[in-house]
Structures are given as structure tokens and as C-alpha cells.
Chain A
Amino acid sequence: MTGVVGRRCPACAAPVAGGDKFCESCGGDLRAQRAGTADAVGTASVCRGCGQPVTPGDGGYCPGCGLLASDGTDRVERDLGVLAGVSDRGLVHSRNEDAMALGRHVSGRIAAVVCDGVSSSPNPQVASRAAAAATLDVLLSGEDADAVTPRRVREAVAAGARSVAALGTGDDGPSCTLVAAVVAPAGDQVVVAWVGDSRAYWLAAGSGSQVLTTDHSWAVEVVAAGVMDAASAARDRRAHAITRWLGAGGEPIPELTTFVPDGPGVLLLCSDGLWNYLDDAGALAAAALPRATADPIGAAGALTAVALQAGGRDNITVVAIPLPLVRSSP
């Protein structure tokens, strides 16, 4: 079958007729299949502490014991066959402020977005979810020839930034980072965009692994400016302070890179909850390969487990996209 899932719009869940290409309700492209944090939100309705039912009117906390109710995103695993992702609350944070959005178009084009809510802003998980969903929508829309281009990817990030800006203004608005990738149907052309310190890696057998992004962070900028060496900068208290973000007071300007794989490998998108523990591309490849080429959900889970075992101090989100695309026949 094609990417049409059931008889409901994958974006807004409105009922749709079998032959429709676009949703009558939200205008979304029905030829695309989506999955991610958004469809996990709100699925939990029982307190994980005392078992009491939690309703939306309770404002996110158990009405009996007061425990923060899971919003369904403590652990999100999504497998679209040709790509897969895991997003985990980790061991220290009380909620998952990361978000991921994965999609595959009926044409074979695939796209993924990982966002990391900025913890010092209010309700950052709202920002990361909005940004991931809005960015993915643009990456999955239109025809392939237009979609896998820097121009369209910039538009996609701009749509993500607008969706975050709409959540609040001034210092009160939530904010997040973003890394997004869109892959042409043949798997031979990749455009990556990022804002902040969420990363994209290319993992390949041998010595071909590399990080595709350069963090928009204090540490990277002082090193680039020659003010400090990398080791001293990394030790600085401000090392992880990001210099670009989507949302309140931020500069939502993405940096872009276009990548043409010269052989088989795995495109990895992740939040700093993973790379804080494992940031070397070769080390990531060693942990993920060769499993990731045939079993992206298994590899995403394995990398998440590495971060959890190392302490899980932050939310962890890992999306694995094997290239050339895994030939699946769902």
C-alpha cells in the first residue's frame, strides 16, 4: 500500500476519503506518513505513581498525589521502516523536552526533525514539539525536485520558527534547538539544517564517519574566534550555552549543509543528550554499525541505551536513517 494510513489524515486525524491526495480538513499531504513525539502526547491517562486517573482538567499533575503526570512522551519509539527514532526522558529530567518528527513521502523522499527544548525557558517541550511538527510538514510537502533543496529546507525551518514564535513573546516564550534533514528518494542527496546544538552525523564503516553540523554554542564560537583552545572551552561553565535557537529572543537562522553519500552509511540526528556521552563520529559508528543499516529502530534504541547507561542526565533523542534507503515493502 501507499503512505496513506487508514482513512484518517496523519497530520490532523480528520477522516479522509480513500483517493484523496490532500486532507480536506488541514490541507496536509496524505501521500506522506508521519510519526513522532506529537502522536505520543496525551496518551497516558493514569498516574505513574498512584494509579489514579488523570484528566486534561488536572493540568498535568495527578489530582491525588500531585505527581507530574506522564504526558506520554517519557519514551517514544517510532519505526517507519526506512527510518526510525527513539526519544527518552532520561534519568534526571522530570519530563521529555525533546521532540522528534519522522516522515516518509510516497515518492520515497524521507525527512526527520529533532528539537531540544531549552530548559531555561517555560514549557520548552511545547516549543520543541511545535517546531518539529511544523518543520516536517514543509519537508514532506510538494514535489521531490523542489523539496530536497536548501531553499525549501530554509522555508521549513522558518515555518518551525514561526510556530514557536506563536507560542509566546518576549522573555516568556518557550524556545528550542533544531536539526532537520531531508533525503531524496534515491538516497543520494541529503540537505541538513540546524539551529543550536542538536547534531547530524554521517556514520559509515571504515574512516568515513563525520559530524555534519557545527554547534551554535559558546564553546564552538570562542574556539572558532581563536579566543580559547577546544579543551579549555569545553571545560568552561558556559560551554553548552547555545547562541542560536528558535523562540524568545533567539536568532532562528539555520545553517545548512548538503551532503552526498559516497557509499552506504547511516544518517543520524540527535540531541545533546546522546552526544554529551558519545560525540566522536567514529565512536558513534562503532556503537551503531552494522546494525543500523538494517535495523534503524534497534540502532536508535542501542544508542539511547548508551546514553542512559552513562547517566542519562538529559533527554535523549536519536533518529537513524540508513542510506541508501532500506528496501522495505510494507
Chain B
Amino acid sequence: MTGPGFTVEVDQNPYLTAGAARVDAIVTITASGVAAPSGGGDALEMIIIDCSTSMTGAKLRAARQATAAAVAELRDGVAFTVIAGTHGAQQIYPPRAGTAVAGPATRAEATAAVERLRANGGTAIGTWLHLARETAQRHPGSLRHAILLTDGQNGESTGALLAAIAASTGRFTCDCRGVGTDWQVDELRAVSSALLGTVDIVADAADLAADFRAIMGAAMDKGMADVALRLWTPRDATIRFVKQVAPTVEDLTGRRTDVDERRGDYPLGSWGSESRDYHVCVEVPPKPLATEMLAARVALVRAGSDEVLGQGLVTAIWTDDEALSTGISRGVAHYTGQAELAEAIQEGLAARKAGDVATATARLGRAVALADASGNDGTARLLARVVDVVDAPSGTVALRARVDDVDEMTLDTRSTKTVRTPGRDAGA
């Protein structure tokens, strides 16, 4: 058995026409042999449950079951806590400072503690994040992960939440779930996006346990924390953007930390044996025909180190052969469309909320056409619950007069989900 390995594959058309400056590439990063740490000693799991008054009844019962299901998934040896969130944050397990170590006894104790959860209070997600961050800071080097569940709108100022998100960034990763339809997609997306996790709606509380089990199962498969994409670009180059494009669209451009004059790191969070795609777009100074240059070097490193886990090269070659320079890489074309799809959905839904029917119809119509052309059937189905599709290829749609909140929120939260290019592995 070999150790963990990362392969970096670059899909691009390196040929540029005279004077062209923009270089696009899809970089597929595949980790293999990244097993969970044996004994579980290098992992921290935090389960954060909204216990505000609105959770009373079926939602809290479901949250208790879901938490118990997630606790049951914990591998022996993993450090964990359960946090009850209201207008403040309270650790309910272990019932003392610090974390518990997963084992038969602690799992049973945690499950019993969760049974005693009561709903009473407000919603201050920022305070929950602060407590999780303080816990995570006592586990440097570990895989640090949280599940955050809420059912309502945050009661804090936007500034307070953003400050808590900023303080937590890079400290732990966080998957967010909204139960019901009274929570704000934008708020949870802000958390999950910055903390390199997922966000989703669980419309029916009865589905919560299965969802938590799946999240925790995936978390238990992670084997390497704090991986970063290190991008080298040549002198006088401009980085247009760096985006994750599969499995979801996530713009990483603003998350760069400079390493030196030519290199910067973009945090990618923790990895199991999985594959993700990134779209890197740089502008380089045009060179004479027949000249080849390195437009970017994409390396995987452990954050804060120079240990290169894998790397790929993005090149540019100027040519007067139009047969070469006019071809666009299939991956670049596909993911440019997927990123536009996410954007069109979010803009369309925002316009719809604002009562701008013309913009909403145009943007959601565009989304329908993009989803259709790229074979993104999941997103196409969600769109069809929000608009009446007259002709998918041309994006001819009519807004529905009545749309369930559930359908609108589901489309919104899942708008960033992409499909890979046809013919390629569906990936992890």
C-alpha cells in the first residue's frame, strides 16, 4: 500500500492566437490512498444544533435523532463535542470543558445528553461559530469539522456573523443544514462557503437523521487536513480567477495568501480519497509566435509548508495556426457554462424576490438552457419546479405564479452543484 498521493491533471488548449493573453485551464485534483487517520486521534467533530424556540416539537425531535445518528457514525478515538445553539452557545457534551473521545461509553452518554435538549431562546449563529472555533484551536493539525443545523434566520447583526465567519475561516470546516423553510440561504451559504463545507436544505425533518449520517460518514473518510492549492504565475501575469468548479462552484480568488512574489496559496480544506475540479484563469503578457511559456504552475501543498503533494503545468503557446488556437478545451467550455448556470439561478431568484419579472424570466431561462445543454439533470429538475419550461434548449420559460418556498430554497442552495463533462468519471 502506497501512501497518500495527489494527481494533478490539466485540461486546456495551450495554443493562443497572436496577441492573446488569457489562459484558461481546468485542473483536476485527485487524491488517492488518503485514509482516515488510524485510531481517529487526529480528528475533531463538532455537532452544533439550533435549540431556539422555533425548533420546538417535531424539528427538535428530528434534530435529536439526527445528532444521535451522527454520533453513532463517529469512529473510535475521534474527539467530539455537541453544542446547543441559541442566542448563545453551550456545550452540552461532554458536560465539562474540553472534548470527549469517541467510544461505546461516550457515544451512549452523548446520545443521552442530546435527549435532554430543550428548545428555548434565540438564534445567534456567530456565537456558535465562536465556541466551535475556540474548541478547534485546541486541536491544531487535526481534521477539524463541524455540522451546523438551524431552522431560522440569524438574530445577530450581519457584521457580527461575518466577523465570526472570518475568525473561523481556516480553523475548521463546516457543513451547514437548514431544516424547514424559515432560514436564510444566503446566511448559511456564507458560513459553508467560507468554511469550505456544503450547504443544503432538509425540507422534511424526518430526513434529517439520514442526512447527518451521510455528512458524518463523509467526514470520517477525510484523511488529510489543511490542503492548499499553491499557484505560481509568471512576472507581469494577472490572476483573473481561481474557482472550484466540481463538485460545486466556489470562487476562491479572494482567499489567496501570498507565499512570495510569484506564488500564493488557496485553502482547499480537508481531503479524503476524492476528486475535485478547479478553473484557473490567468492573463499573461503576449509573446511572439512560436513562443511557449508557463502561464501557471498548480501545486498541492499542506498548508503552511512547502511539501508538494502533486503539481500540474498550465502553458501558453502562441501560434498563427488557427486550427490550433480556435479550439476551446471541452472542460473549460463545460465549466464556464456550469459557473454561469449557478450565477443565472442566483440572480434569477434574487430578481424574482425583488419582483423584477423580466430579469427573473431571462436569467432563469438562461439557466434552463445551460442545464439542458450540459446534461445537469438535477438542476434542470429543480428549475422546472420554479418556472414552466416551454422550450429548454432555447431557454424559453414562464415564471410560475406560485412556487413553494421549499422548491425555491432547494434550487437556491443547490444552484452551485455541477456535473462533470460527459464521458468523464462522475467522481467522488
Contact = CB atoms under 8 A, between A and B. Distances in A.
Contact of A66 (B289, B295, B319): B295
A278 B313 CA distance: 37
Contacts of B317: 94
Contacts of B22: none
14 contacts: A49-B287, A59-B313, A61-B293, A61-B294, A62-B294, A64-B234, A65-B234, A66-B233, A66-B294, A66-B295, A68-B294, A90-B290, A94-B291, A94-B317
Given A65-B236, A68-B291, 18 more contacts: A59-B297, A59-B313, A61-B313, A62-B294, A64-B235, A65-B293, A66-B234, A66-B293, A67-B292, A68-B293, A68-B294, A92-B289, A92-B320, A92-B321, A94-B291, A94-B292, A94-B317, A95-B292
Nearest to A237: B323
Interface residues of B, number: 22
Interface in B274-326: 284, 287, 289-295, 297, 313, 315, 317, 319-321
A7 interface: no
A59 B312 CA distance: 11
Q: Looking at B235, B287, B295, B321, which has the most chain A CB atoms within 10 Å of its CB? A: B235
B237 interface: yes
A91 interface: yes
A66 B313 CA distance: 11
B291 A92 contact: no
Chain B residues touching A, majority SS: loop
Nearest 7 CB-CB pairs, A to B?
Answer: A66-B234, A94-B292, A61-B294, A68-B292, A66-B294, A66-B293, A92-B290
A238 interface: no
B290 A66 contact: no
Contacts of A94: 290-292, 317
Interface string B41-64: 000000000000000000000000
Contacts of A59: 294, 297, 313
Interface residues of A, number: 17
A67 B291 contact: yes
Interface of A: 49-50, 59, 61-68, 90-95
B284 A66 contact: yes
A61 B284 CA distance: 14
A223 B327 CA distance: 32
Contacts of B237: 66
Nearest to A312: B290
A66 B317 CA distance: 12
A67 B293 contact: yes
